């Protein structure tokens, strides 16, 4: 038995929203484990990058361009995924952005745009996916949170608030849907180097500052988060629900 067979993800219809560093890495990992992946993002170039990278690694994914910043768009995407995939067994929400400003310098758009993208899209897509999975009596849902949902980082107010809210949202979903065979969990990465964070890490000594806060002495890699997501999406995690798994090299220990 291979590792991918052990995970029992083969042919599982899977929707991943967010083709950025973590979402793209997870979509590739799930496809390599045998899942039938539909990847959605607003950026067609990001989608094509992940599609080609996955193909080069020996797997296939399908992509769809979607702007999820409204409730109807989120529900429409879930309906499209169910139609294209013939159902939905696995769902990953990996959409988010940060605005690094002190609280007193934030304007209303800073707050509203981050809350909408990070938290509201998780609720809208999660609700629609949950309805489908509950009706089928099976499902694996994973949301990308952050150590910022636990730690009080300066200049992270909207981001931290949305990740803390996401942690509680997924716990309530898990509590309500556990009797129906649906698990809902989160992964909370620490400092991960991705294409989206590299510019920030490369200036003002930010990489070195962050590395000094991590007991493991280094930044994480997207594949390390993707591995945890793949486990939570698999049948091997059937009795794990309502949990937030910190993938942080020990950052939350100090």
CATH at residue 169: 3.40.50.720
Residues listed for the chain: 254
200 is catalytic: no
Q: Quickly list DSSP for 155-215.
A: T-HHHHHHHHHHHHHHHHHHHHHGGGTEEEEEEEE-SB--TTTHHHHTSTTHHHHHHTT-T
Residues 94 and 122: their CA atoms lie apart, in Å, by 9
- Whole-number pLDDT of residue 204: 84
Looking at the predicted structure, is the pLDDT value of residue 4 above 70? no
- Which residue shows structure tokens 């950052």? 251
Sign of CA dihedral 185, 62, 13, 74: positive
Is 251 among the domain residues?
no
Count up the domains in the chain and report the number. 1
Residue 254 covered by a domain: no
Q: Using CA of residue 72, residue 78, residue 83, residue 84, what is the dihedral sign? A: positive
CA 137, CA 181: separation in Å to the nearest integer? 5
Would 33 be classed as within a structural domain?
Answer: yes
**205 has pLDDT over 90:** no
| pLDDT tens, residue by residue, 119-145 | 999 999 999 999 999 999 999 999 999
For residues 197-216, average pLDDT: 88
**For residue 96, what are the domain limits?**
3-246
Any domain includes 204: yes
Q: Which residues pair with 62 in a beta bridge?
A: 38
Give strand pairing partners of 220: 192
CA atoms within 13 A on the CB side of 141: 34
Would residue 253 count as lying in a domain?
no
Q: Considering the domain boundaries, does residue 11 fall inside one?
A: yes
Q: Which residues pair with 90 in a beta bridge?
A: 14, 140
Lowest mean pLDDT among 111-115, 163-167, 198-202: 198-202
Sheet architecture: strand order including 182-189: 61-65, 36-41, 13-17, 90-93, 139-144, 182-189, 244-247
Phi first, then psi, for residue 53 (nearest 5°) are -65, -40
Task: Supply the mean pLDDT for the chain.
Answer: 95
Residue 223, in any domain of the structure? yes
In a domain, 252, yes or no: no
pLDDT for residue 46 is more than 60:
yes
Q: How far is CA 55 from CA 37, 202, 204, in A?
A: 12, 30, 36
Band of the pLDDT at 14, cuts 50, 70, 90? very high
Q: In whole angstroms, what is the distance from residue 130 CA to residue 102 CA? A: 36
pTM for this predicted structure: 0.95
Q: What is the mean pLDDT of residues 231-243?
A: 97
Which one of the listed residues 123, 138, 159, 246 is annotated catalytic? 159
pLDDT at 76: 98
> What is the distance between the alpha carbons of residues 179 and 110, in angstroms, rounded to a whole number?
38
């Amino acid at each position: 038995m291979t590792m991918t067979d052990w995970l029992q993800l083969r042919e599982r219809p899977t929707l991943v929203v967010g083709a950025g560093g973590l979402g793209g890495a997870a979509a590739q990992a799930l496809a390599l484990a045998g899942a039938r992946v539909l990847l959605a993002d607003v950026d067609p170039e990001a989608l094509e990058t992940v599609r080609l990278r996955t193909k080069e690694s020996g797997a296939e994914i399908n992509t769809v361009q979607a702007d999820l910043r409204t409730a109807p768009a989120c529900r429409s995407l879930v309906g499209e995924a169910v139609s294209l995939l013939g159902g939905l067994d696995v769902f990953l929400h990996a959409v988010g952005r940060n605005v690094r400003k002190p609280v007193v310098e934030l304007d209303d758009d800073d707050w509203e745009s981050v809350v909408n993208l990070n938290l509201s899209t998780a609720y809208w897509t999660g609700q629609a996916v949950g309805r489908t999975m509950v009706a089928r009596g099976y499902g694996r849902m994973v949301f990308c949170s952050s150590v910022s949902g636990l730690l009080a980082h300066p200049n992270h107010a909207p981001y931290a608030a949305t990740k803390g809210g996401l942690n509680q949202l997924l716990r309530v979903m898990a509590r309500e849907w556990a009797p129906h065979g649906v698990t809902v969990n989160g992964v909370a990465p620490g400092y991960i180097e991705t294409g989206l964070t590299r510019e920030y890490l490369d200036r003002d000594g930010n990489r070195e500052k962050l590395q000094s806060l991590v007991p493991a002495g280094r930044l994480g890699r997207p594949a390390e988060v993707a591995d945890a997501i793949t486990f939570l999406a698999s049948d091997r995690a059937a009795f794990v629900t309502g949990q937030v798994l910190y993938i942080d090299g020990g950052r939350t220990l100090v």
